[in-house]
Amino acid sequence: MAAEADPATVRPARRARLQAVLVVAFLLVLPLPLSLTFGWFGLNPVQAERTSPVGSLAHELLSSFPDSQLVVEMASAPGTAPPPASVSLLWNRMNETLQKNSIRFVSESINVPPGNFTTDGLFSVEQGARQFWPSVGQMALFYLFVHGTYAGGSGILGLAYRGSSIAVFSDLISTTAGGGDPAPIESTVLVHEFGHEMGLVGLVGSAPNEDPAHPGHSTDPNDVMYYAVETTAVLGGLFGGPAPPTQFDAADLADLQTVRNTAIALELIPTIVLVLCWAAAGIAVVVYWAGRKMSRRGR
């Protein structure tokens, strides 16, 4: 006659099995809501950009892995589109510093009124205009050209305000040119803000050339990362003097190599969370089965 299972033993065993299944399922699924909340792994890229500080995507921007392609999107209010010469020079600097299989520029017109923009205001405009966001396999940069000024400081010609977002205040550039060709100034501004997105100066890396009086900028007036080139202070060298700098100096290039070879902590967090969750799920399964074996032996 076959022995019948004791109901008092069966119920706890089923409960333990259900608890183990729920724990494992929770740990396996947990990375998904976290990715949607923070925009990890290309999920919810708008939220990812909203929470990414300038320079936080420098490694993805500089390296060929994991993003082998780059899309540079330029959205311009009427009358603010950058001169072709400035776009061409920016393309050259990107090809000199980035390890991408392809760099593609996309231009578009947007309808945005003039304003005194905060960074949140700029991002609000960006949300409605931007078509390409950083994603798995493809990095993206967004340049926003607007009429108006920056609310965070007077005389600002351009501003990197998120991990892949740049604003350019075209009217102020034209005013700074004093009726002359604005292309030299605009070229400098485009490259300067691109430099910030790569982590220069001191945003990522060692930055031996950082100016203590102007954090995030170079001490070298011939370096495109010199503090004055993103403000109306650049005006001083235009009349009869040399054009504003558009080259990264040797210290910048050495710093970029350091950044290229070093993963940034913020980009490692999603992978660390994913590995920890899945490792914990595996441990939970092993513990459950080990417990079952010990229980059987004790009968």
Per-residue pLDDT tens over the stretch 169-196: 999 999 888 878 889 999 999 999 999 9
Which of 127-131, 227-231, 283-287, 292-296 is predicted least confidently? 292-296
**Model confidence band, residue 13 (pLDDT cutoffs 50, 70, 90):** low
| Structural domain includes residue 200 | yes
Sort strands 69-76 and 214-218 into parallel, antiparallel or unpaired. Answer: unpaired
| Structural domain includes residue 43 | no
Is the pLDDT confidence value at 24 over 80? no
| Structural domain includes residue 68 | yes
Nearest to 172 by CA among 189, 155, 153: 155
Nearest to 258 by CA among 218, 198, 212: 198
Is the pLDDT confidence value at 236 over 50? no
Is the pLDDT confidence value at 69 over 50? yes
Which CATH number does the domain housing residue 255 bear? 3.40.390.10
| Structural domain includes residue 109 | yes
> Would you state the pLDDT for residue 232?
63
User: Which helix (H) or strand (E) covers residue 52, if one does?
Assistant: none
> Would you state the pLDDT for residue 44?
80
| Structural domain includes residue 226 | yes
| Structural domain includes residue 30 | no
Using CA of residue 284, residue 287, residue 289, residue 292, what is the dihedral sign?
A: negative
Range of the domain at 121: 49-266
| Structural domain includes residue 276 | no
> What's the structural domain count of the chain?
1
Of residues 203 and 33, the one with the higher pLDDT is 203
Of residues 268 and 10, the one with the higher pLDDT is 268
**What is the tens place of the pLDDT at every residue in 77-99?**
999 999 999 999 999 999 999 99
Mean pLDDT of the chain: 85
Per DSSP, the chain holds a count of helices (H) and strands (E) of 10, 9
Place of tokens 């050209």: 145
**Model confidence band, residue 9 (pLDDT cutoffs 50, 70, 90):** low
pTM greater than 0.85: no
**Model confidence band, residue 7 (pLDDT cutoffs 50, 70, 90):** low
| Structural domain includes residue 238 | yes
Burial annotation 84-111 (CB, 10 A radius, 16+ → b, else e): eebbebbeebbeebbebeebebeeeebe
